[in-house]
């Protein structure tokens, strides 16, 4: 077990390093940089000499390898550098923007899970074939809705028409209602699809027949025999979907004007603010790696078949 | 049909039962006008081959027909009450409590993520039969009753930690938990080793006697029915062929179908030595397969090593059939995987037709595979469902020769007709063929490369007896025509006795008995061989046991 753990942590560290290096190389390879964009602006009236001096003060003119080693060293100590565009440390930018995104992503993911489970189990429980058909076609509908379009429609309907959710000066939780929904819908679709398939699959397994022969009714079988068996493989999908969640958050924050990492990313891309982008890439990779590590480590806890014999006997 | 004169009222009376399956638009009737009854404490066997409707009939009794199945006509009376048209809600009070089920496949019949104790205790919770604080004790005493060692530990374990036989005991514990009047045992032992099969059937018998429970035994195996049942109902294509007391049906079968079944079943007692065994005395030593001191170790827990095969040696003469016999975990599969070069042994020497296998690597090893071909147990799983039969059989030629496409297909067609597959089948895909036809395809695919040795890994075990008999006849014919050598891996000693010249009996990776078949089976030197032989069903009716 400990060898397995070390192996997985080693893999996670490698992924982080690779994400850092690849994004570093790509950001360096781009023509121009944040300093040029900010200070070459003719309105500022700076000479080429002065711009070069500013570049030197940011250490932007040292060899790439030196910059790479310096940056990685700083990252390891938790120093993400300095945002040229905003003129503040990247750390304080992240501190200002991260909470909104964390709230949005967490709530979005929770709602997506609830929606997926509702769709999947209702479609299995319903005695009506037509309702089952409707519920099972919902995921393919959900997956084809673009997030930005759904966001705009939600604002149109719930804020402007029905005036249920204020757009001007909403409360801290009110402002999250529509974005969370817009984010959750496309994420819930693949989850629901996998879950519906798993439930159907588990229902055909012989042990379900044995449970029925014991006299168990449909609800009993679904909750006590099918649910856990069907949810286990869904866990893997949930880990992978985290990537979708980040991508969805960027669009959602832009549509709803939320002050989160998504908006920060958008602005940083526009101004080629390499330090900010580098930090966001590494941070996303870190979150992705941690979530998938947790999923992998959770499996043996939830599925007795994956525990080693020694572990069970102990 | 027949009505046995009775003083006691039967537990179960099935009368004029017709069951149909719908496939969207049309309905196809699977069970036609089936009638029989079971008295308290009686064992009635429903015997038939696949598609005979035996499982459908059994499922309808406990109300577990597939969703597209429907009882069209007839009645199923449990203690005089017709339950054939009861709703699920009504049936839920009967299932488990008055009728219970011992399923076919113990490997998949327990929920993998729940403990054994929870799954046994569940039946008390469903029926509210015990106070919750009394359930755990009751579960442990039940597990002890069905012969599980350390029942308290077993209750905390998960299904994957138990062997197949132990899992079937757990399922039996569930089936007897509420002392039902009728237990439906649907092929309860067909997935188990022969010695385990005997113990499980003994246990069901014992519990039947103890509780006075009636048993409906569903089986494809006439010899199991002969050993265990009071009465036998023979089904074919959903119709009863005949029914009556077991001894009468077996001794004087009235229907031609029963006679055919009896003739096809490889019977251990009546087997004669193979006529081709004359080479044994000829003194010519032409061994095509030589296995000498074969050892295969696998890494076990921590630093320990697990020996799957331990110092195994045997020789097989050219043109003969050598059987490898043993139960699960005996090392059969590891041995044959080494012989065909899929697996590198830890130690020992394997020589095929004078070539030392351990020296072969890369292209030489690949070319060597022409000489020795494999036929697998599962004729469905080993054929690519997306290829046509012709493609399947012609594919090995693509790997080993530079024949033109038309020549390859011609050769494949010739082999297919040689194994007795109808001409119109060659363009079809595997799913459109019957089990026996699929196994013919698998044999044709193995033969298309003109191999010298054929490894038959439980190649007839999944087939119905009458189909099995035809495939065995084909194999014998091919052997004498083509001079093939067979390595026949099987758990079925009756088949082994019928088809092989020499045998190796394996247990825990070791050779416990070996030599000429008639010697080994008539004068077994080891206790284990004797136990295996005694466990074979069909050696005496229940009355004698």
The ipTM value here is: 0.78
Whether residue B275 has pLDDT greater than 80: no
What's the mean pLDDT in A206-213? 93
- Tell me which of B63, B112, B127, B301 to substitute to probe the interface with A (most A C-beta atoms closer than 10 Å): B112
Sign of CA dihedral B229, B232, B234, B239: negative
* Comma-separated ranges of CATH 1.10.3720.10 domains in chain A: 92-270
Q: Write the CA distances from B422 to A81, B419, B465, B478, integer angstroms.
A: 77, 9, 21, 17
**pLDDT by residue (tens digit) across A106-154?**
899 999 999 999 999 888 888 888 888 888 888 888 888 888 888 888 8
Interface of A to B at Cβ within 8 Å reads 205-207, 209-218, 220, 224-225, 228-229, 232, 302-305, 308-310, 312
If we measure between CA atoms, which residue out of B167, B164, B173 comes closest to residue B194? B164
Among B88, B108, B113, beta carbon nearest to A228: B113
Residues across chain B: 545
> Has residue B158 got a pLDDT over 60?
yes
Q: Estimate to the nearest angstrom the gap between the alpha carbon of A57 and the chain centroid.
A: 36
Q: How far apart are CA B96 and CA B180, in angstroms?
A: 7
How many helices (DSSP H) and strands (DSSP E) are in chain A?
14, 0
What is the token pair recorded at A282? 């590494």
Average pLDDT, stretch B18-29? 85
Share of chain A above pLDDT 90, in %: 16
Residues β-bridged to residue B205? none
Q: Is pLDDT at B540 greater than 60 in this prediction?
A: no
Q: Tell the burial category of B141 from Cβ atoms under 10 Å away from its Cβ (0-12, 13-18, 19+).
A: exposed
Amino acid A313: pLDDT = 33
pLDDT-wise least confident of A177-181, B106-110, B191-195, B516-520: B191-195
Whether the CB-CB separation of B31 and B238 falls below 8 Å is answered with: yes
| Pair B431, B385: CB distance under 8 Å | yes
Report CB contact under 8 Å: A305, B110: no
* Alpha-carbon radius of gyration of chain B: 25
| Residue B439 CA to its chain's centroid (Å) | 15
Q: In chain A, whose CA is at the least distance from the CA of B174?
A: A214
pLDDT given at position A294 = 87
CB B426 within 8 A of CB B389: yes
3-state SS track over B58-82: HHHHCCCCCCCEEEEEEEEEECCEE
Of the candidates A210, A216, A218, which has its C-beta nearest B101's C-beta? Answer: A210
Q: How far apart are the first and last CA of chain B?
A: 29
Complete DSSP assignment for B93-109: HHBTTTEEEE-S-TTTS
Say how many C-beta atoms besides its own lie within 10 A of residue B350's C-beta: 20
Question: What average pLDDT score do residues A300-304 get?
Answer: 85
Q: Per the structure block, which two tokens stand in for B451? A: 């191999």
CA B502/CA B520 separation, integer angstroms: 9
pLDDT of amino acid A310: 38
Q: Report the pLDDT averaged over residues B221-240.
A: 91
Q: What is the mean pLDDT of chain B?
A: 87
Task: Identify the residue with better confidence: A235 or B267.
Answer: A235
Segment B474-499 shows an average pLDDT of 89
Cα separations (Å) of A197 from A143, A223, B39, B412? 16, 16, 44, 40
CB contacts, 8 Å: A213 with chain B: 62, 64, 95-96, 100-101, 103
**Tokens representing residue B390 in the block:** 């012709």
The pLDDT confidence band at residue B267, using thresholds 50, 70 and 90, is low
Domain B12-230+239-263, second-level architecture:
3-Layer(aba) Sandwich (3.40)
Confidence of residue B223 (pLDDT cuts 50, 70, 90): confident
Residue tagged 């959770």 (tokens): A298
Q: Where along chain B do the CATH 3.40.50.300 domains lie?
A: 12-230+239-263, 320-344+362-371+451-544
End-to-end Cα distance, chain A: 13
| d(C-alpha B238, C-alpha B57), whole Å | 9
Element (H, E) at B14: strand B12-22
Asked whether residue B303 carries a pLDDT value surpassing 80, the answer given is no
Coil, strand or helix: which one is B45?
strand
- pLDDT for position B543: 38
Residue B7 binned pLDDT confidence (cut-offs 50, 70, 90): low
* Statement: residue A97 has pLDDT above 50: yes
- Banded model confidence at residue B272, pLDDT cuts 50, 70, 90: low
Confidence of residue B544 (pLDDT cuts 50, 70, 90): very low
User: Do the beta carbons of residue B97 and residue B127 sit within 8 Å?
Assistant: yes
Q: Which site among B98, B109, B121 would you substitute to test the A interface, given the most A Cβ atoms closer than 10 Å to its Cβ? A: B109
Contact assignment for A207 to B171 by CB distance below 8 Å: no
pLDDT in tens, A214-239: 999 988 999 999 999 998 888 888 88
What ranges make up the beta strands (E) of chain A?
none
- A17's enclosing H/E stretch is helix A2-29
Q: A44: which DSSP letter?
A: G
With CA atoms as reference, report the closest residue to A55 among A34, A78, A41. Answer: A34
Q: Which residue of A has its CA nearest to B176?
A: A214
Cα(A273)–Cα(A34) distance, rounded to whole angstroms? Answer: 5
Q: Which pairs count as long-range contacts for A280-286, CB under 8 Å and 24+ apart, including other chains?
A: A281/A19, A281/A20, A281/A23, A282/A16, A282/A19, A282/A20, A282/A23, A282/A75, A282/A80, A283/A94, A284/A246, A285/A15, A285/A16, A285/A19, A285/A20, A286/A16
Q: Residue A309: closest CA among chain B residues belongs to which residue?
A: B161
CA distance B90 to chain A (A): 10
Fold of domain B320-344+362-371+451-544: Rossmann fold (3.40.50)
pLDDT of the residue at A305: 84
At residue B182, does pLDDT exceed 90?
Answer: yes
Confidence of residue B464 (pLDDT cuts 50, 70, 90): confident
Q: How far apart are CA A128 and CA A30, in angstroms?
A: 58
- Residue with token string 């046994």: B120
Q: Which of the pair, B369 or B302, is modelled with greater confidence? A: B369
Between vectors from CA B531 to CA B529 and to CA B536, what angle results, nearest 5°?
A: 100
- Chain B residues with CB under 8 Å of A303 CB are 112-113
Candidate ranges A305-309, B164-168, B379-383; pick with highest mean pLDDT: B164-168
Average of pLDDT values for B425-440? 86
Of A300-304, B323-327, B379-383, least confident by mean pLDDT is: B379-383
* Residue among B122, B157, B304 with most chain A CBs within 10 A, to mutate: B122
Lowest mean pLDDT among A268-277, B77-86, B141-150: A268-277
Residue B383, pLDDT > 50, answer yes
pLDDT given for residue B274 in this prediction: 56
pLDDT in tens, B392-424: 999 998 888 788 888 888 999 999 988 888 888
Whether A302 and B113 lie within 8 Å, measured CB to CB: yes
Of A207, A224, A312, the CB nearest to B110: A207
3-state secondary structure of B129: coil
The residue-averaged pLDDT of B350-364 equals: 85
Q: What was the pLDDT predicted at B224? A: 87
When CB atoms are compared, the residue of B110, B126, B301 closest to A220 is B126
Per-residue pLDDT band for B75 (boundaries 50, 70, 90) equals: very high
- pLDDT band of residue B301 (cuts 50, 70, 90) is low
Closest among A244, A98, A256 to A176, alpha carbons compared: A256
Strand pairing class (B231-236; B239-245): antiparallel
Cα angle for residues B161, B167, B171 (degrees, 5° grid): 140
* pLDDT at residue A215, as a whole number: 92
Q: Report the pLDDT value the prediction gives residue B399, as an integer from 0 to 100.
A: 84
Q: Using alpha carbons, list the distances in angstroms from residue B524 to B112, B332, B512, B531, B533.
A: 40, 19, 10, 10, 9
Give the per-residue pLDDT at B14: 95
User: How far is it, in rounded angstroms, from Cα B316 to Cα A297?
Assistant: 50
DSSP B503-542: EEEEETTEEEEEEEHHHHHHS--SHHHHHHHHH-S-SS-G
Structure tokens at B324: 């490898």
Q: Does residue B3 have a pLDDT over 70?
A: no
pLDDT greater at residue B1 or residue B241: B241
- pLDDT (average), residues B344-370: 86
Q: Do B108 and A207 touch (CB under 8 A)?
A: yes
CATH number at A92-270:
1.10.3720.10
Residue with tokens 């494999």: B374
pLDDT at residue A129, as a whole number: 82
Distance CA B390, CA B412 (A): 6
Cα–Cα distance between B264 and B245 in angstroms, integer?
A: 21
Residue A169 CB: number of other CB atoms within 10 A?
Answer: 7
Give the closest of A205, A215, A302 to B108, CB-based: A205
Nearest CA in chain A to B180: A214
Which parts of B238-366 are beta strand (E)? 239-245, 287-299, 305-317, 321-325, 347-352, 355-356
- Partners of B455 in the β-ladder: B374, B487
* pLDDT over 70 at A308, yes or no: no
When pLDDT is cut at 50, 70 and 90, the band that residue A298 belongs to is: confident
CA distance A256 to A249: 10
Order across the sheet with B355-356: list the strands: B305-317, B287-299, B347-352, B355-356
- Closest chain B C-alpha to A7 CA, distance in angstroms: 17
* Contact state of B95 with A212 under an 8 Å Cβ cutoff: yes
């Amino acid at each position: 077990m400990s060898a397995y753990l070390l192996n997985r942590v080693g893999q996670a560290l490698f992924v982080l390093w690779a994400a850092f290096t690849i994004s570093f190389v790509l950001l360096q390879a781009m023509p121009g940089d944040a300093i040029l964009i900010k200070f070459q602006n003719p309105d500022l009236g700076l000479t080429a000499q002065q711009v070069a001096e500013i570049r030197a003060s940011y250490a932007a003119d040292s060899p790439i390898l030196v910059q790479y080693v310096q940056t990685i060293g700083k990252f390891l100590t938790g120093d993400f550098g300095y945002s040229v565009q905003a003129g503040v440390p990247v750390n304080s930018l992240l501190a200002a923007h991260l909470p909104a995104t964390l709230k949005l992503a967490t709530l979005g993911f929770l709602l997506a899970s609830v929606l997926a489970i509702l769709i999947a189990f209702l479609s299995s429980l319903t005695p009506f074939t037509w309702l089952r058909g409707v519920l099972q076609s919902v995921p393919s509908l959900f997956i084809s809705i673009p997030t930005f379009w759904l966001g705009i429609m939600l604002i149109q309907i719930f804020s402007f028409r029905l005036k249920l959710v204020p757009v001007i000066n909403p409360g801290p939780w009110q402002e999250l209602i529509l974005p969370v929904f817009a984010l959750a819908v496309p994420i819930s679709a693949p989850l629901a699809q996998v879950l519906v398939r798993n439930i159907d699959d588990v229902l055909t397994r012989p042990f379900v027949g044995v449970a029925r022969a014991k006299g168990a009714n449909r609800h009993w079988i679904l909750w006590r025999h099918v649910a856990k068996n069907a949810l286990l493989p869904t866990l893997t999908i949930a880990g992978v979907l985290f990537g979708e969640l980040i991508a969805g958050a960027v669009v959602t924050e832009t549509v709803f004007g939320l002050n989160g990492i998504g908006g920060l990313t958008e602005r940083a891309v526009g101004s080629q603010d390499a330090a900010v982008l580098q930090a966001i890439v590494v941070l996303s990779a870190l979150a992705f790696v941690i979530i998938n590590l947790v999923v992998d480590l959770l499996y043996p806890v939830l599925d007795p078949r994956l525990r080693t014999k020694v572990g069970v006997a102990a | 049909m027949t009505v046995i004169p009775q003083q006691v009222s039967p537990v179960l009376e099935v009368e004029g039962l017709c069951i149909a399956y719908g496939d969207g638009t049309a309905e196809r009737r699977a069970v036609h006008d089936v009638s029989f009854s079971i008295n308290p404490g009686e064992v009635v066997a429903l015997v038939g081959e696949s598609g005979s409707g035996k499982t459908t009939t059994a499922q309808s009794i406990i109300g577990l027909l597939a969703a597209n199945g429907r009882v069209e006509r007839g009645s199923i009376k449990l203690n005089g009450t017709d339950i054939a048209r009861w709703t699920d809600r009504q049936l839920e009070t009967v299932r488990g409590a008055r009728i219970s089920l011992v399923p076919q496949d113990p490997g998949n019949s327990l929920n993998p993520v729940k403990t054994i104790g929870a799954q046994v205790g569940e039946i008390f919770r469903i029926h509210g039969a015990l106070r919750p604080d009394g359930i755990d004790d009751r579960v442990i005493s039940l597990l002890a009753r069905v012969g599980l060692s350390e029942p308290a530990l077993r209750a905390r374990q998960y299904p994957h930690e138990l062997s197949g036989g132990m899992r079937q005991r757990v399922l039996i514990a569930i089936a007897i938990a509420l002392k039902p009047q009728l237990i439906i045992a649907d092929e309860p032992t067909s997935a188990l080793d022969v010695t385990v099969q005997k113990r499980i059937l003994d246990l069901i018998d014992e519990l039947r006697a103890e509780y006075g429970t009636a048993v409906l035994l569903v089986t494809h195996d006439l010899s199991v029915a002969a050993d265990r049942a009071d009465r036998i109902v023979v089904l074919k294509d959903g119709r009863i062929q005949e029914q009556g007391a077991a001894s009468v049906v077996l001794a004087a079968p009235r229907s031609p179908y029963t006679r055919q079944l009896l003739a096809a079943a490889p019977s251990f007692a009546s087997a004669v030595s193979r006529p081709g065994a004359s080479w044994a005395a000829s003194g010519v030593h032409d061994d095509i397969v030589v296995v000498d001191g074969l050892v295969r170790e696998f890494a076990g827990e921590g630093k320990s090593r697990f020996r799957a095969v331990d110092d195994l040696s045997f020789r097989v003469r050219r043109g003969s059939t050598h059987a490898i016999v043993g139960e699960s975990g005996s090392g059969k599969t590891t041995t044959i995987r080494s012989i065909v070069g899929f697996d590198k042994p830890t130690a020992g020497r394997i020589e095929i037709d004078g070539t030392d296998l351990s020296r072969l690597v890369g292209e030489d090893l690949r070319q060597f595979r022409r000489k020795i071909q494999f036929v697998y147990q599962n004729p469905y799983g080993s054929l690519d469902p997306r290829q046509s039969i012709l493609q399947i059989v012609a594919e090995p030629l693509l790997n080993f020769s530079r024949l033109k496409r038309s020549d390859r297909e011609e050769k494949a067609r010739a082999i297919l007709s040689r194994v007795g597959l109808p001409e119109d089948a060659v363009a079809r895909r595997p799913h459109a063929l019957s089990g026996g036809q699929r196994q013919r395809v698998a044999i044709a695919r193995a033969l298309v490369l003109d191999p010298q040795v054929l490894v038959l890994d439980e190649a007839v075990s999944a087939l119905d007896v009458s189909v099995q008999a035809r495939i065995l006849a084909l194999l014998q014919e091919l052997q004498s025509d083509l001079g093939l050598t067979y390595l026949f891996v099987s758990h079925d000693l009756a088949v082994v006795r019928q088809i092989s010249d020499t045998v190796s009996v394996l247990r825990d990776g070791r050779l416990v008995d070996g030599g000429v078949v008639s010697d080994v089976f008539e004068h077994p030197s080891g206790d284990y061989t004797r136990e295996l032989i005694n466990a074979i069903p069909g050696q005496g009716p229940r009355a004698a046991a």
